[in-house]
Amino acid sequence: MKQNNAVFANFICRFGDKVLLDYVEQIVLPAFTDDTLIRIYGETEYHFYEVQLVNLAKRGEEPILAVIGQFIKNTLLTRVQVFDESDGLVHDEQSMRSAPSAFFVLILNNHRLIYMPETPYAPDLVAFKGTALAFLRNKWHKLIDNLFEASKHNNEKITKVALRKSHPAPTLEVVPLTDRRSLAEFVERYETLRRIDFRLITPNDEIDASDTLERVRKLGLGLDATTTKVITENKDGLDKEASFAAVEEATATGNQEVILRGVDEAGNSLKVANDSFELSVPIVDAPEGSVAKAKLLFKKYREQVDQQEINAPGMNNAIEKIRQLVGLF
């Protein structure tokens, strides 16, 4: 029996005032499906593999489109010494290639990401975000170049500066969805919880249930800010019960990042963020086929939504665009 663990996140991709689906054909899908794109980081190469667009809806349902595939970390493992019982540490340099991977399901209907490491030392969500953003920017640059060449062909006087203003560069946030039980355990570890930082991220085109934080976010939008920060602090200690409620509400939609700071019972400094209490579910004996694997992960996602462990927007908020994509692909 093989067990993996899947986590869930909000994939917040924006192009200025526009969102992921506004550029899904021109930028987003090519960024994931172009298998020539490689992100190099030292001795490590990151790339997406065997990516496809699939419909996860059951018969009779409106289409639920998802980008699915593997995220591979192709790297070189090197050792410099081994331990021998008689000789102790012995210098012995050896290297070998290794390619740990994760499987992902990006639901286009509501921008939720299901992410399942498949092997030990699989690339994490930070690496996934960095790679996706690099590839999105690559395709954005190509879009600007193509539009510029087309304008010259049509004898239109349009500069690249003007094109970049009309088609802003992509930004990306991948925010883990949190587990309220893990959050409660972390809050209880604090003897004194002194500070909470709330970083409010410009969301996808969904409705945020938090009225107070939404008003603060709109203030930031009025200043053309992509993120806005709210800090609550008391050196003598914040109310832990109220803090738990505030953090739970703030992180429920995946549109806020939080950092908790304080000290534990031993007086040690303690600092935790969203990824410390992300929601994780076990996946036992995942099927080998990509589509079957994606359907199982999506089933687990729906179970978490039904059990109200995940607060997520519905699948039909952008259904007209999703229907158009079905027709195209």
- Residue bearing the bigger pLDDT, 47 or 88: 47
**The residue count for the chain:** 329
Amino acid identity, position 228: T
Q: How much is the mean pLDDT over the chain?
A: 88
Phi-psi sector, 153: left (phi>0), alpha (psi -120 to 50), beta: alpha
- Residue bearing the bigger pLDDT, 264 or 137: 137
- Residue bearing the bigger pLDDT, 136 or 221: 136
Mean pLDDT along residues 4-23 = 94
Which pLDDT band, with edges at 50, 70 and 90, does 223 fall under?
low
Q: What is the DSSP string of 266-319?
A: TS-EEEEEGGGGB-EEEEES--SSHHHHHHHHHHHHHHHHHTTSS----S-TTH
Among 114, 7, 8, 101, which residue's Cα sits nearest to residue 54?
Answer: 114
* 227: helix, strand or coil: strand
Residue 218 has pLDDT above 70, yes or no: no
Q: Which two tokens stand for residue 188?
A: 């209880």
Residue 206 has pLDDT above 80, yes or no: no
With contact defined as beta carbons under 8 Å apart, do 129 and 257 qualify? no
With contact defined as beta carbons under 8 Å apart, do 215 and 230 qualify? no
Partners of residue 200 on adjacent β-strands = 228, 256
Q: What is the DSSP string of 77-140?
A: EEEEEEEETTTEEEEEEEEEEE--EEEEEEETTTTEEEEEE-STT---HHHHHHHHHHHHHHHH
pTM of the entire structure?
Answer: 0.86
Residue 209 has pLDDT above 50, yes or no: no
